[in-house]
A and B are shown apart, each in its own frame.
Chain A
């Protein structure tokens, strides 16, 4: 016989809410780590490799951050698990050049065994590109978001953002 549990909410044994189930069976996870930050002001992407651009050059506007995932340009896993991370950039590298975006840090090293996970995009007019990665990490692992310029360009606020959420 199937074992069924009929319940409206699941909490940790200490009382903190973890999951709600409404009368249609829809679940929400109010404490599940997730964040969205957008670039606060148009920011130069310098020529060459700037590994910690998100930390040292850019500033970010926090739209939401459940669980304290993002601070000072850095993602930090608040608890062990699998996370989806997306790094989107909108900028204006000149024709014939290119722009690079890289993720690096202990979460990238631990999952991929690499220093950087790169994307490159052709120049021309304004261009946008999206960099997505899953990481499977312990708590406290970090990702910073770097750039690789081929001729200086500018990342724009109206299309540069970072978001992430815990999948499992």
Chain B
């Protein structure tokens, strides 16, 4: 016989933090679940940025796992995580458009190093115009492993606060 628990709230046994709440429609909310959404847009505008990105605008940071001082998402618990990155690409430090047949490269890194199987964005622009790139992946992390985004070829265009053309987000899957 199946064992069924009927409950509205489940808390941890030690500190009584709510882990799961269940509403009358069976929808589950996990207030401590790890999830974040950040963007990069605090430069003075019209700038091209390269290297490990420090996303400064924090819009969602459940679990406080993202550190806006260094661009790192640091795993608070071991598990499998989803990450996504998107950007508006540029051809130089002034934020000009990429030229014809220019190449843009960016990648996710784990603990500051390349990781086998990590997804890299590789994009060749065929027309000198605005362009968007995006990538996503899932990865298994131990506690305190960190994930960053590194632009290695060409640049991302960073406008003033509010442009938010470049983002990094993720969440714990399980």
Q: Which residues of A contact B (CB under 8 A)?
A: 2-3, 5-19, 27, 29-33, 67, 78-82, 84, 95-98, 111-112, 114, 117-125, 129-136, 166-168
Contact = CB atoms under 8 A, between A and B. Distances in A.
Contacts of B126: 95, 122, 124-125
Interface stretch (B67-75, B111-119, B130-138, B139-147): B130-138
A134 B25 contact: no
Contacts of A18: 22, 26-28
Contacts of B30: 168
Contact of B3 (A8, A27, A29, A81): A8
B29 A80 contact: yes
Given A10-B10, A167-B171, 8 more contacts: A7-B3, A7-B4, A33-B27, A80-B29, A129-B134, A131-B86, A134-B171, A168-B31
A9 B28 contact: no
Contacts of B165: 118-120
Nearest to A1: B13
Q: Which of B24, B25, B27, B136 has the most CB of A within 10 A?
A: B27
A134 B13 contact: no
A96 B129 contact: yes
Chain B contact-residue range equals 35 or more
B65 interface: no
Contacts of A80: 29
Q: Which 4 A-B residue pairs are closest in the complex by CB-CB distance?
A: A31-B26, A168-B33, A134-B37, A3-B13
Nearest to A133: B37
Nearest to A112: B59
Interface string B1-43: 0111111101001000000101111111111010111000000
Given A111-B60, A167-B33, A31 B171 contact: no
23 contacts: A8-B2, A12-B26, A13-B6, A13-B22, A16-B24, A19-B28, A27-B174, A31-B25, A31-B26, A79-B27, A82-B171, A97-B129, A117-B164, A120-B130, A120-B132, A130-B86, A131-B132, A134-B35, A134-B36, A134-B59, A166-B27, A168-B31, A168-B62
A96 B128 contact: yes
A132 B174 CA distance: 20
Contacts of B62: 82, 136, 168
Contacts of B95: none
B169 interface: yes
A37 to B, nearest CB: 20
Contacts of A81: 29
B164 A16 contact: no
Contacts of B171: 82, 84, 134, 167-168
A13 B7 contact: yes
A30 B26 contact: yes
Contact of B6 (A12, A125, A167): A12
